[in-house]
Amino acid sequence: MAEQARVNLLGLDRPSMEAFFTALGEKAFRASQVMKWIYHHGVVDFDAMTDLGKALRAKLYAQAELRLPEIVLDQPAEDGTRKWVLRLDSGNHIECVFIPEKDRTTLCVSSQVGCALACSFCSTARQGFNRNLTAAEIVGQVVLASIAVGIPENKGERAISNVVMMGMGEPLLNFDNVITAMAIMTDDVGLGISKRRVTLSTAGVVPAIEQLREVTDVSLAVSLHAPNDELRDQLVPINRKYPIRELVAACGRYIAGKPHRRITWEYALLDGINDGPEHARSLARLLRNIPSKINLIPFNPFPGAPYRRSRDEAIEQFRDILIQAGFTTIIRKTRGDDIDAACGQLVGKVEDRTRRSARWQAVPMEKAL
Report helix, strand or coil for 202. Answer: strand
166 lies in the site for ligand SAH, by CB under 6 A: yes
What pairing do the DSSP bridges indicate for beta strands 64-65 and 7-8? parallel
318 lies in the site for ligand SAH, by CB under 6 A: no
170 lies in the site for ligand SAH, by CB under 6 A: yes
Residues 6+ apart with CB under 8 A from 250: 206, 209, 210
Catalytic residue of the set 18, 26, 95, 137: 95
344 lies in the site for ligand SAH, by CB under 6 A: yes
Report helix, strand or coil for 203. Answer: coil
- Least CB distance to ligand SAH at residue 331 (A): 12
* Other beta carbons within 10 Å of 257: 6
Amino acid symbol at 274: N
Looking from the CA of 216 toward its CB, the CA atoms found within 13 Å total: 26
- For the chain, count helices (H), then strands (E): 14, 14
- Least CB distance to ligand SAH at residue 282 (A): 19
Question: Which of residues 8, 162, 223, 274 is near ligand SAH by CB under 6 A?
Answer: 223
Stretch that binds ligand SAH, among 131-139, 141-149, 199-207, 279-287 (CB under 6 A): 199-207
Looking from the CA of 333 toward its CB, the CA atoms found within 13 Å total: 7
Complex with ligand SAH: residue 98 or 299, whichever CB lies closer = 299
122 lies in the site for ligand SAH, by CB under 6 A: yes
- Least CB distance to ligand SAH at residue 45 (A): 33
What pairing do the DSSP bridges indicate for beta strands 129-132 and 162-165? unpaired
Query: Which string of DSSP letters, residue by residue, matches 52-74?
Result: S-HHHHHHHHHHEE--PPEEEEE
310 lies in the site for ligand SAH, by CB under 6 A: no
Complex with ligand SAH: residue 17 or 178, whichever CB lies closer = 178
Complex with ligand SAH: residue 37 or 129, whichever CB lies closer = 129
Question: Which of residues 185, 268, 284, 314 is near ligand SAH by CB under 6 A?
Answer: 268
110 lies in the site for ligand SAH, by CB under 6 A: no
Complex with ligand SAH: residue 17 or 165, whichever CB lies closer = 165
Instruction: Quote the Cα angle for 118-122-127, to 5°.
Output: 65
Catalytic residue of the set 108, 115, 251, 343: 343
The yes-or-no answer on residue 95 being catalytic is yes
Bridge partners (DSSP) listed for residue 267: 296
Complex with ligand SAH: residue 140 or 344, whichever CB lies closer = 344
Stretch that binds ligand SAH, among 2-10, 118-126, 212-220, 242-250 (CB under 6 A): 118-126
Which of the 8 DSSP states describes residue 256? T
Complex with ligand SAH: residue 134 or 201, whichever CB lies closer = 201
What pairing do the DSSP bridges indicate for beta strands 263-269 and 219-223? parallel
Stretch that binds ligand SAH, among 115-123, 136-144, 179-187, 314-322 (CB under 6 A): 115-123
The residue count for binding ligand SAH (CB under 6 A) is 16
Question: Which of residues 300, 321, 322, 347 is near ligand SAH by CB under 6 A?
Answer: 300
Instruction: Evaluate the CA torsion angle 72, 76, 77, 79 in order and state its sign.
Output: positive
Query: Cα separation of 244 and 82, whole Å?
Result: 34
CA distances from 165 to 176, 197, 209, 304 (A): 14, 11, 14, 26
What is the binding site for ligand SAH (CB under 6 A)? 119, 121-122, 166, 170, 201-203, 223, 266, 268, 297, 299-300, 343-344
Hey, which residues are catalytic here? Answer: 95, 343
